[in-house]
Structure 1
C-alpha cells in the first residue's frame, strides 16, 4: 500500500490510514452531542451563549415549522446568513426536516440570488432583515414560496440587543419591519411557538444529499456541488483524525470562516458539533473585533484563510493582544505564504500549516502535518486518510511518476456526487472514480504534493472563488463596453485580485469610477474588479478568442520585475 500511496510512510502513528464512518446523517451528530452533553456551551456569539441542548431544541422546532410550511424530503432551503446562532439552527433544522441546505452568500446582489434560487429550485430562504428588500425583489422570478427573516439583535445579550438596531440603521441607512404573516415569517416568532409534530425521515448515508454548495468555472455560471451526508461526515472525520492532539469536547474553535464557505462549514460547524466543542462566532471578520475576541475567549483552534492571518499580523495594535491560546491552525482557500506562517507561529506559539481542497471534495484532501513531522516548504502536504491522489498527464491521461507535472486528481469518500442538474459537466469532472481538479502540480518521492498552476481561470481572492465570466457578463451590459476580460492578478494581501481589461466604444469616455459603480449594482463586493485597464484591443487567437492567459502572464512578469527591483 505504501508503494501506491508513498505518503502513508510519513504518517505519525497516531493518524490511521483508514477510518470507520458511522452510518448516520449529519444532523444526528447534533442530537448525539446534545444528549451526551446537554449543558455544554455550543456557541458564543458577541457575549451571548447557547448550550447544545438549546441549539438542538431550537433546530427541532425550526425543522417542524419548515415541515408545516410544506418542506418534504429532498426539498431545497437556502440559508443567506453570516455566522450567527441562527445560521447553526437553520442548518441543522433544514436537515432534520429532510431538506437540502443551499448555502447562499449574504453579499450576493439580486441577479446572483435569482440565479442561485432558480438553479437550485429552493422553496424557502432564511435571511437577515437588512437583506430582506434584496430577496423580496427576486422572489417573483423564482420558485421561492416563503422567506424567513431574522436579525442579528435577536441573539445578542442585553443591552447590545437594544443598541444594535440603531447602529445597523446608521450603517445601512434604513431599517426593516417585517410582520409574521402570509409568506413572511420571523425566525424569533417561530422559536417562540410550541413545538409542532416533526416527521422523521429515513436517510441513505451514501446517496442522500445534505448540501448544495455553489462553485463554478470560466465555462459557465456557478454550479451546485452535490454533497452527501457521507461526504460531509467523512471529511469532518478525517479532520478529527488529523488533529489527533486536540481534546474532544474541550477545544474552543474560532468561527471566523463563513459557514456559506464549505471550508468553514466543515472544519468549524460540522466538526465542532461532532466533537462537542465550543464555537466562537463573528458575523463579520473585523480585525480589531477578532483580536479582542481571541484575547477574551481564548480559542485553541483557528481554521482560516491566509487573508485572515495576514490581516491580524498587520494590525497596528497586534502587540497589545494575547493570542497565545491558539494551538492549531490549518489554512485553506488560497496559498499560504511561508513568511506569514512563520510570523503567525512566532506571535501565537501555535502551529499553522497549509492545506488544500475544493468545494467538490467537501472540501479538504491534503494538509501538512501539524505535529511530529518537519514542515515542507511550498507543499500543500499529503492526502488525508482514505484519500487517494495522483498526477495524471494532460496529454495521455496516464498516471505520472514522482516529479512530473500534470493534473492533480482525487479519489475518496469526500468526493462529491456530481453537479446539480449538470450530467455532462459531472462526466467531464468525474472519470473512473477520479475527480479532475483542474489544478496542475506534482508529487515528490515522499508523497508530498505541490500546486504549480491552475488549469482553470478561476480567481481566488481573499479565499473567495470568483468566476471571470460572471464579471464579464455584467460589464458587457454597460452600453460603452465593446470587449472585456476579467483575470486574477497577483496581490500581496488577497493572493489574487480582480483586474478587468476593457475596450470601449470609439469616442466613449468612461472612467474607472463609473465602471466600478456599475459593477457594484450587480455583483457582490468581493467580485468587483479592483483594477481597470483600458486598451485599444485585446490579444486574441486566430479565430478571435481572447487570450486571457497571455494577459495573466504579462501581469505576473510585471509583478515579478517589480519584486526584483524592490529586492
Structure 2
C-alpha cells in the first residue's frame, strides 16, 4: 500500500539524539558536582539556552493562557500529534518498526494508519471518542496510536499486566467505544465481556480465527487507505494513561496534544542545547541542527507508559529513526538486538541499564553503536552514571526525569553535564517552570529542599472522572510532583526522595534514595530498595531489601560497615533482608516497594 506525500514543516527536522564524543574534556573525570560551578560550560549552557529559545528561533518560547492559567509553550510547533505524524511521511522507505523478523517502513506505516483510521471512522469513531489499546509492545501498538490520535480520537493505554478485574475498572472509568487488543488481553476481556455489551473489539495476532464478537486486525488494515480529514485542537485529549496505582486505584491522566507535542520538542531541545554548550566551551564548532543521524531506539519499556511511548517512540519517529520492539525485557536479548540492529539509543528504567552492564554477555556483544545509555522512570544512581562512563565503548550516560502527569520529561541531563553532576536530573525544560515549595506552601530558594512543583504546556489537563484528585495535585496550573528536591544555582534539579518514601527516624528525615545510592555503591549489590520500618522508640527505622550478586558472600555486618563510610550513623539500615531472587517490579520496571515491604517480616531481617 502507498500513502501520498505530505508537505513537511522544515522546523520538524530537528535532531532527537546527538552523538557526544567521550574522552578528554573538562568534566570527564570530575566526581564532585560542585567542583565546576561557574565554569565555562555552564555559562555556555545559559547562552545556548537563551539563544535557542529567543524570538524567531526554532525553540522560541512564549507564554500563553490556557483555561485562565499562564503557561510556557513553544511558538513554532504543530498544533497536534496529527501534524507530527503526517510530517513523518517524508521519511518514505526508511525502516520504522522492527519486531523479530518483521520490518515496516514509514511509507507502509502511513498506509496502514490511514486504513486503520478509515476503518475506525466507519465504525462510528470520531473526534473525542475513546479507543483502548491493550497489548504488548507489538508494532500494531504504534500503528493504532498514530491512527487514533491523527483522527482526533483519544487513545486509552491499557496496562498489559492487568488482570480481568483491573481491566474492567479502566474500561468502566474511560468508557471507550472500541478496544484493540492482542490474544492474551482478549482472553482476559472474555472473562468480563458481559459487562460491556456495546464495546467493539479488534483482535491482533490471534493465530487462529477471531470469535464472532471480535474483528480480525487483518480486516482493519485491509480497509481503504484514507485518513479522515479533521482539525484537532491543541487542548484536546490525545490519550489517557493510567498511573501505576501502587497506592490504590490507578488514575487516568488526560494528556493533551499540546502536552505531547511539547514533550517531543523538549527532548529535541535538550539533545541540541547540551552538546552545543559543551562544544562552545571547548572552542569547537557546535553540531548543526538536523545533521545527527536518525536514532535506532530499543523499546524496552511498555508503550502504555510515557517513557516508551512519548519519550522514546514519538521522539524517534519525528527524527525518522527505527523502533526495535521487545516482547518483554531480557538483558541478554537486549544485547543481542543492540548488536544486530545497531541500536544507538537505549532508554529504559535505570535497572535495565545496570543489568546490561552487569550481564555476562556485555563484554562479548558488539555495543559500539550505542551513543546513549540511560533511562528514566527513576533517578540513575551516581554509581551507575560512573559505570556507564567507564564500561561502555562509546555510549554516554543520560537520564530524563518526568511523570505521566507531565506527558514525559520534566528535566534531562546527559554526557559531560551528567558526569559532572551525577546526582542531578538536569534543568527543567523550556516549557516548564520549576520551583521547590516548603511545608507552608512558600517558595524556596536555591539549595533549599522542598516539594518540586512544575507548570507549563506538558502538564496534564487533569485526572479523568477525578476532580478531587485533580484539585489535590494541581494548584493554579502548578503540578505537585510529590518529589522532594532542591534546585542549585545553575538551575539543575536534584531529587532527594519521594515525599511519601522518607523515613522519619526520631525526628530526623532519612531520604531513601540517598541510602539506596550508598548501597548501590557496593559492587556486590545488584538491586535494592529502602523503606521505613515501624519502631516503637524512634517511630520509624531504616530497612533495606537487597539482592546480591549470586557469587557474593556479602553479609549484613559488612554491608552496614560499607554504608557507615558513606552515611551518617542514623541513616545506616537497621534492618536488612537479603533476597534470593531479583526484586519484584511493575510493568514499567519499577520496584514494587510497598508490596515488598508488606511481604517482609522483621523477624527475618539481619
Band of TM-score, shorter chain: 0.7 to 0.9
Contiguous gaps of at least 5 residues in structure 1: 1-6, 153-164, 166-176, 462-467, 469-486, 494-518, 536-550, 563-567
2:576 matched to which residue of 1?
A: none
Q: 1:242 to 1:488 in 2, by over 3 A?
A: farther
2:261 matched to which residue of 1?
A: 233
Q: 1:122 to 1:275 in 2, by over 3 A?
A: same
Query: Displacement, 1:63?
Result: 0.9
Query: Displacement, 1:339?
Result: 2.1
Aligned counterparts, 1:491-510, within 5 A: 491=546
Alpha-carbon separation, structure 1, partners of 2:173 and 2:302: 22
Counterpart secondary structure, 1:302: strand
Query: Displacement, 1:315?
Result: 1.5
The reply on whether 1:202 has 2:246 as its aligned counterpart is no
Counterpart secondary structure, 1:360: helix
Contiguous gaps of at least 5 residues in structure 2: 1-40, 54-60, 62-73, 273-286, 503-511, 517-530, 532-541, 549-583
Alpha-carbon separation, structure 1, partners of 2:419 and 2:590: 39
CA RMSD of aligned residues (A): 3.4
Q: 1:143 to 1:416 in 2, by over 3 A?
A: farther
Corresponding residue to 2:462 among 405, 410, 418: 418
The reply on whether 1:106 has 2:160 as its aligned counterpart is yes
Asked if structure 1 preserves the Cα contact closer than 8 Å seen for 2:297 and 2:346, the reply is yes
2:34 matched to which residue of 1?
A: none
1:349 matched to which residue of 2?
A: 394
Counterpart secondary structure, 1:321: coil
Q: 1:446 to 1:43 in 2, by over 3 A?
A: same
Corresponding residue to 2:319 among 275, 279, 299: 275
Counterpart secondary structure, 2:366: coil
Cα displacement string for residues 328-358 of structure 1 (whole angstroms, at most 9, x for unaligned residues): 2342111212222222232232111233111
Alignment: residue pair count: 456
Counterpart secondary structure, 1:303: strand
Asked if structure 2 preserves the Cα contact closer than 8 Å seen for 1:368 and 1:375, the reply is no
Cα displacement string for residues 178-215 of structure 1 (whole angstroms, at most 9, x for unaligned residues): 4274x3011123213444x653221111x101010111
The reply on whether 1:266 has 2:296 as its aligned counterpart is no
Asked if structure 1 preserves the Cα contact closer than 8 Å seen for 2:118 and 2:223, the reply is no
The reply on whether 1:442 has 2:486 as its aligned counterpart is yes
Asked if structure 2 preserves the Cα contact closer than 8 Å seen for 1:80 and 1:105, the reply is yes
2:77 matched to which residue of 1?
A: 22
The reply on whether 1:41 has 2:85 as its aligned counterpart is no
2:282 matched to which residue of 1?
A: none
Aligned counterparts, 1:311-460, within 5 A: 311-345=355-389, 346-371=391-416, 375-394=420-439, 396-456=440-500
Cα displacement string for residues 88-136 of structure 1 (whole angstroms, at most 9, x for unaligned residues): 1111111133210011121110111011111111222111113321012
Corresponding residue to 1:131 among 147, 164, 185: 185
1:11 matched to which residue of 2?
A: 45
Query: Displacement, 1:457?
Result: 5.6
Counterpart secondary structure, 2:346: coil
Query: Displacement, 1:235?
Result: 0.6
Query: Displacement, 1:10?
Result: 6.5
TM-score of the superposed pair, with normalisation by structure 1: 0.73
Cα displacement string for residues 57-88 of structure 1 (whole angstroms, at most 9, x for unaligned residues): 10110111112122121111111122221111
Asked if structure 2 preserves the Cα contact closer than 8 Å seen for 1:66 and 1:97, the reply is no
Alpha-carbon separation, structure 1, partners of 2:188 and 2:488: 50
1:32 matched to which residue of 2?
A: 87
1:179 matched to which residue of 2?
A: 210
Q: 1:416 to 1:445 in 2, by over 3 A?
A: same
Alpha-carbon separation, structure 1, partners of 2:543 and 2:76: 39
